[in-house]
Structure 1
Amino acid sequence: MAKKTGAFWNRSLHRDIGFFYVGLIIAFSISGIALNHRTDFDPQEYTVKTEKFELELPADPTQITDDFLKEAAGSISDEEYRGNRKRGGEARLYFKDAFASLNLKTGKGEIEYVQTIPVLGQMTILHKTTNIWWVWFSDIFGLAMLTIAITGMFISKGKYSFKKRGWILASIGLIFPFIFLFLIR
């Protein structure tokens, strides 16, 4: 039996890890592209309907507490209430499949009922979830991507090898993220 070389193991690891993670690579690629354009459209959910509402607010603004908003949520929607955020003169109330904006001076507001975009919406959730099992799986996936990148550098031999030409392309590829990091600031 012939001795297995480093090139053999590089090709094997590169190929087999790539096969195992091809579904996740595709899902992360598609949803990542969609998330890059989230200022143009919401890749996770779409609005089914909107409704206007008006609440009678207490005269004293300090009485508009979390408890007040939780109680008021029942008159705004039958959806399960999940919490709120107050910022400036507006409160945002979050429900299971909806969210409402409330003007804290006038008591006028609007609720949007939303649904997850099939497939794309679920894929975008993968980028944001904090489920401990998914976090571990994603960390392992990150290590697998590093393995694919490193083993890929040493698969080719001769004039197309990393040593001859690959390092130039890799260096150019590394420059772009740094350029964008400095431009985005």
Structure 2
Amino acid sequence: MKGFLLKGRAGLLGTVRQWHWISSAMCLVGMLMFAITGITLNHAADIPVEPVVITKEAILPEAMLEQLELPDDDRAPLPPFLRDWLSDTLDTRIANQAAEWSDDEIYLSLPRPGGDAWLTIDLLGGEVQFEKTDRGWVSYFNDLHKGRHTGVVWFWFIDVFSVACVIFSITGLVLLARHAGSRPSTWPLVGAGLVLPLVLILLFIH
């Protein structure tokens, strides 16, 4: 019976070790990115940013302008033929998202990580105005950290990554408990990791 329990315990620890290294491998690059961008976000005011603004203008062909019909709702996506023309003409990706339609103008906001963009289409004369602002790679990765204007795929990636980090942490705790007997500093260090943030919150955050 004792041998069976020891064998079962060894098998459980083997499973924990396997989950620990698999989750650590999956989290490695993501944890580095989120740790580094945590520093850049914390010092955002100290990092100089020089936004680059690009503006473009075009004229919508009259035949295409005549094809445009006001939708029933004042917020609706651009028709596919218009998105294709704008993508080719402006050399930028036009998202299939709701634009603001009025009797004389279409306005489309195009927020993105690390920058912003918008375009307007004059429905009377066909003038197209486009402006894009790029705040650089630091802002780009900061927005990835926050999940700002990153879309559904990145939204789910953050959730999956967070679950992998939880697995990594819990299995690490189990392995710490397994070896704590031969490493007396284990629990004091774990306790310090818990108590220190609480003390800082209570004393310095109001």
**Cα distance, 1:114 vs structure 2:** 4.5
- Match of residue 143, structure 2, among 121, 125, 139: 125
Does the 8 Å CA contact 1:13/1:148 hold for their aligned counterparts? yes
Does the 8 Å CA contact 2:17/2:171 hold for their aligned counterparts? yes
Aligned partner of 2:198 in structure 1 is: 178
Matched, 1:24 2:30: yes
Change (3 A) 1:155 1:95: closer
Change (3 A) 1:116 1:95: closer
Name the amino acid aligned to 2:32: I
Q: What percent of counterpart residues are identical?
A: 24
Structure 2: 5+ residue stretches without partners: 1-6, 54-106, 119-131
Aligned partner of 1:47 in structure 2 is: 51
Structure 1: 5+ residue stretches without partners: 50-79, 84-93, 98-112
Question: CA deviation digits over 1:9-58, x for unaligned, max 9?
Answer: 1211111111122111111111111001112226xx53347xxxxxxxxx
Runs of 4+ more than 6 Å apart: none
Bigger share in helix:
2
TM-score between both structures, scaled by the size of structure 2? 0.50
Aligned partner of 1:5 in structure 2 is: 11
Name the amino acid aligned to 2:157: F
Does the 8 Å CA contact 1:48/1:115 hold for their aligned counterparts? yes
CA distance, structure 2, for counterparts of residue 22 and residue 145 of structure 1? 10
CA distance, structure 1, for counterparts of residue 50 and residue 108 of structure 2? 19
Q: What's the secondary structure of 1:32's corresponding residue?
A: helix
* Count of matched residue positions in the alignment of Structure 1 and Structure 2: 127
Does the 8 Å CA contact 1:17/1:148 hold for their aligned counterparts? yes
Change (3 A) 1:95 1:126: closer
Q: What's the secondary structure of 1:96's corresponding residue?
A: strand
TM-score between both structures, scaled by the size of structure 1? 0.55
CA distance, structure 1, for counterparts of residue 175 and residue 116 of structure 2? 51
Over aligned residue pairs, what C-alpha RMSD do you find?
3.5
CA distance, structure 2, for counterparts of residue 181 and residue 33 of structure 1? 18
CA distance, structure 2, for counterparts of residue 144 and residue 22 of structure 1? 10
